[in-house]
Chains A and B, each alone.
Chain A
Amino acid sequence: MTAGSDDGYPVRWAGSQAMITMPAEIDVTNADEVRRALLFLARPNVPVLIIDMTGTTFCDSAGVHAVISAYRQAAETGTQLRLAVTAVRRIFTLIGADQLMPIYPALEDALAGTADGKASPPGHPGRGR
Chain B
Amino acid sequence: LASRGSSREWVGAGHVRAEGRLRDIQTITDVALSRLDDRDLLAELLKRARDILQADTAAVLLLDPSSGELVATAAAGLEEEVRQGVRIAVGAGFAGRIAAERRPVVLDHVDHTTVRNPLLWTKGIRALVGVPLVAAGEVIGVLHVGSLAERKFSSDDVELLQLAADRAATAVKSMITKEEGIAAAALQRSLLPAALPASSGVQMAARYVPGEGAVGGDWYDVFTLPSGRLGVVMGDVTGSGLPAAVIMGRMRSALRAYALVTADPAEVLAKLDAKMQHFEPGALATVAYAVFEPGMKEARVCLAGHYPPVVAAVGEPARLANVAPGLLIGAAPGVDRPVTTLQIAPGTLVGFYTDGLVERHGQTIDDGLDQLCRAITTRSPDAACAAVMAELVGNTPARDDIALLMIRSSPGGAQP
- Residues of A near any B CB (own CB < 8 A): 25, 27-28, 58, 60-62, 65, 68-69, 71-72, 75, 87-88, 90-91, 93-97, 99-100, 125-129
Contacts and interface: CB of A to CB of B under 8 A. Distances in A.
A1 B2 CA distance: 69
Nearest to A65: B238
Contacts of B355: 60-61
Most chain A CB atoms below 10 A, which of B236, B303, B334, B365: B365
Contacts of B289: none
B366 interface: yes
Contacts of A25: 361
A15 B87 CA distance: 49
B365 A96 contact: no
A94 B336 CA distance: 16
B399 A28 contact: yes
Interface in B309-342: 325-328, 330-332, 334-338
Contacts of B307: 94-95
Contacts of B104: none
Nearest to B307: A94
Contacts of B336: 126-129
Q: 7 nearest interchain CB pairs?
A: A96-B325, A60-B359, A61-B355, A125-B332, A91-B365, A65-B238, A95-B305
A75 B331 CA distance: 10
A65 B364 CA distance: 17
A90 B332 contact: no
Given A60-B365, A96-B326, A129-B336, 6 more contacts: A65-B284, A90-B364, A95-B305, A100-B331, A126-B335, A127-B335
B327 A99 contact: yes
A95 B359 contact: no
Nearest to B331: A68
18 contacts: A28-B399, A58-B361, A58-B362, A60-B355, A65-B238, A71-B332, A72-B330, A87-B364, A90-B364, A93-B325, A95-B306, A96-B303, A96-B326, A96-B327, A99-B326, A100-B332, A125-B335, A126-B336
A41 B159 CA distance: 42
Contacts of B399: 28
Contacts of B400: 28
B348 interface: no
B364 A71 contact: no
Given A94-B307, A126-B337, A65 B361 contact: no
A88 B366 CA distance: 10
B401 to A, nearest CB: 11
Interface in B109-142: none
B279 to A, nearest CB: 16
Contacts of B361: 25, 27, 58
A96 B308 CA distance: 11
A62 B332 contact: no
A87 B367 CA distance: 13
A25 B359 CA distance: 13
B286 interface: yes
A125 B338 contact: no
B284 A90 contact: no
Contacts of A88: 364
A87 B307 CA distance: 18
A54 to B, nearest CB: 16
Contacts of B338: 129
Nearest to A88: B364
B334 A127 contact: yes
A95 B308 CA distance: 9
A71 B331 CA distance: 8
Contacts of A60: 355, 359, 365
B337 A95 contact: no
B366 A72 contact: no
A126 B302 CA distance: 14
B331 A72 contact: yes
Nearest to B364: A90
Nearest to B240: A28
Interface in B257-316: 284, 286, 303, 305-308
A28 B359 CA distance: 11
Contact of A95 (B328, B330, B334, B362): B328
Nearest to B326: A96
A126 B365 CA distance: 24
A62 B331 CA distance: 14
Contacts of A71: 331-332
A93 B229 CA distance: 30
Nearest to A129: B336
A90 B366 contact: yes
A113 B364 CA distance: 27
Contact of A100 (B236, B286, B327): B327
Nearest to B362: A58
B403 to A, nearest CB: 14
Contacts of B325: 93-96, 99
B328 A96 contact: yes
B362 A125 contact: no
